[in-house]
Amino acid sequence: MKISRRAALGILAGAIPAIGLRKSALAADAAPAPETRVPPGITPEDGPFKATRASLEGYGVPDWFRDAKFGMWAHWGPQSAVEYGDWYARLMYMQGSDQYNYHVDHYGHPSKFGMKDTIPLWKAEKFDPAALIRRYKKAGAKYFMTMGCHHDNFDLWNSKHNRWNAVNMGPGIDIVGAWRKAVRDEGLRFGISEHLWITYKWYSVAHGSDKTGPLAGVPYDGAGPDAKDLYVDSDDIWDGPDLPWNEDNIPNWWKRHWHDRITDLVDQHEPDFLYSDGSLPFEEYGYSVVSHLYNVSARRNGGKVDAVYFSKKDRDSELGTCVLDRERGVLDDILPRPWQTDTCIGEWHYKRGAHYKTPKVVVDMLVDIVSKNGNLMLNVPLPASGMPDLEELAVVDEITAWMAVNSEGIHGSRPWKRFGEGAPDQAADQKSKMFNESSRRALDASDVRFTTKGDLLYAFVMGKPEFRSVIRSLALDTALKVGRITGVELLGYDGKLTWSQDRSGLTIDIPDTLPTKHAVAFRIKGAT
């Protein structure tokens, strides 16, 4: 029987009873359980869904998600305290990285001042979730997601299974609970992200040391005894530039621990949706978490499953178990099932001086994604204080102004016969990939995107049209079988438009003054 380094050290320290070790070690080395089997020690689900993939394939995406189209997210946690961008808690332990150099310059060497020591710097002194949610709702967001736990292993709720949480340390409040109240008070849908499953590998660098220099070989603080439960005592250290983003070498004790923490999160805060940063992890452990999410929703809603789970793996969505999420991804065509892109206006975690997406880029992404049967969830990272900076708020305010005019063609809409027209997208050959948003060409007045609602068609011209706009897809006698158009209006414009339809398309004379700075939307009758 193979005994892990973690388990062996636990016995020597008297921290793990020998009988407990035997059960854990045997579970870690056992063959994967059949998907019809509930993981050891886990109570079978009581509800319409069982902890199997076959059961989860009976899931249906709720209408509220299909109608919502736009949501917002707040990456915020102890890694925000330093305000130096993404993955700080990992990269500060990787000698030579920007985060490592910044940490050494500002706080000292990670053998003496580690991630655990930055947590008191996160005070959240300006955190006002009610005010932010009101602002995001005004911007057109129909749902909001808070982080529950990032890869840094710090829980943002009053966790039963982890003392490293925001109630015990840092702000001293239940962050998830505060967001939940604000979101529900405004009548929006509430969700939580969890990034915990890969933490076993991600945080392993905290157990390492410098490879060169005067402190080469001196262990980082993650190797010390006082915070082993924060830094996760992994058997190996994955410190290369490419973290193996898979479940290989992750033991069963960690899978069970992940299951218990996320189940506790669902039980305490009953989210409308849960986002895992990756695919549905850990087979039967993952099936158990997702079935529990759906069953909790059914109990809350008189038997109706109104919850959503997101996975970044195509197969999970194609089999019907959940909704597909494309991180920072754009697609080249309509997907038959609802899907989502999550992206950020800058870096995921707040970084002082970061470059932000322009409001036009955000609007263009939103309209393009919605035309292809998707939703956009936009992250606005919070500084340590909990209040977005002025540049972030300016982006949100410009989205608000655009949505005030054009949301009619966004919320509650469905795709048309084609998503749009214009030059081919440079990202088209990356259909199946994430992180391709930067390869998309800028959209202009030659690009059109379509949505429908009932018998109305909305045509979004994606740049500032001059004098006249011709929408070729709306020509008479085309393969699309477009009907004879009976009316054309410009959202936000009270005047009467001059337009005509023939075999070349729908031609619209553009008024001198447009109602919005970005994409303009025409409401069209008779085309569908």
pLDDT tens by residue, 12-26: 333 333 222 222 333
Mean pLDDT confidence for 381-395 = 98
pLDDT score of 37 = 63
pLDDT score of 11 = 31
pLDDT score of 12 = 31
pLDDT score of 360 = 97
> Distance between CA atoms of 40 and 24, rounded to whole angstroms?
10
Joined tokens for residue 43: 């109570």
pLDDT score of 15 = 35
pLDDT score of 426 = 53
Band of the pLDDT at 430, cuts 50, 70, 90?
very low
Q: What is the mean pLDDT of the chain?
A: 91
pLDDT score of 440 = 82
Range in 38-42, 128-132, 270-274 with the lowest mean pLDDT: 38-42
Question: Under 8 Å CB-to-CB from 275, ≥6 apart: which residues?
Answer: 145, 191, 192, 193, 194, 309, 310, 325, 342
First to last CA, the chain: 67
Q: Are 42-80+122-196+266-406 and 420-525 equal in CATH topology?
A: no
Nearest to 47 by CA among 261, 294, 267: 294
Any idea which residue has 């109570």 for tokens? 43
Q: Does pLDDT of 290 surpass 60?
A: yes
Mean pLDDT confidence for 494-499 = 97
Q: Does pLDDT of 8 surpass 70?
A: no
Mean pLDDT confidence for 71-93 = 97
Question: Under 8 Å CB-to-CB from 232, ≥6 apart: which residues?
Answer: 153, 199, 200, 203, 204, 254
CATH class, domain 42-80+122-196+266-406, is alpha beta
> Distance between CA atoms of 207 and 228, rounded to whole angstroms?
9
Mean pLDDT confidence for 246-254 = 95
Nearest to 357 by CA among 369, 345, 367: 345
pLDDT for 341-371, tens place per residue? 999 999 999 999 999 999 999 999 999 999 9
Range in 4-13, 182-191, 353-362 with the lowest mean pLDDT: 4-13
**pLDDT cut 90: percent of the chain above it:** 83
pLDDT for 17-67, tens place per residue? 322 222 233 333 343 444 446 777 788 788 899 999 999 999 999 999 999
Are β-strands 70-74 and 143-149 bridged in parallel, bridged antiparallel, or unpaired?
Answer: parallel
pLDDT score of 477 = 81
> Distance between CA atoms of 376 and 71, rounded to whole angstroms?
6
pLDDT score of 436 = 83
Residue 138: Cβ within 10 Å count: 15
Mean pLDDT confidence for 476-487 = 91
Mean pLDDT confidence for 466-471 = 93
Alpha-carbon dihedral of residues 332, 337, 341, 342, nearest 10 degrees? -170
Range in 213-222, 307-316, 398-407, 473-482 with the lowest mean pLDDT: 473-482
**What's the CATH fold of domain 420-525?**
Immunoglobulin-like (2.60.40)
Q: What angle do the packed helices 5-12 and 18-29 form, to 10 degrees?
A: 180
459 vs 315, higher pLDDT = 459
| pTM of this structure | 0.91
- Boundaries of every domain in the chain: 42-80+122-196+266-406, 82-120+198-239, 420-525
pLDDT score of 425 = 63
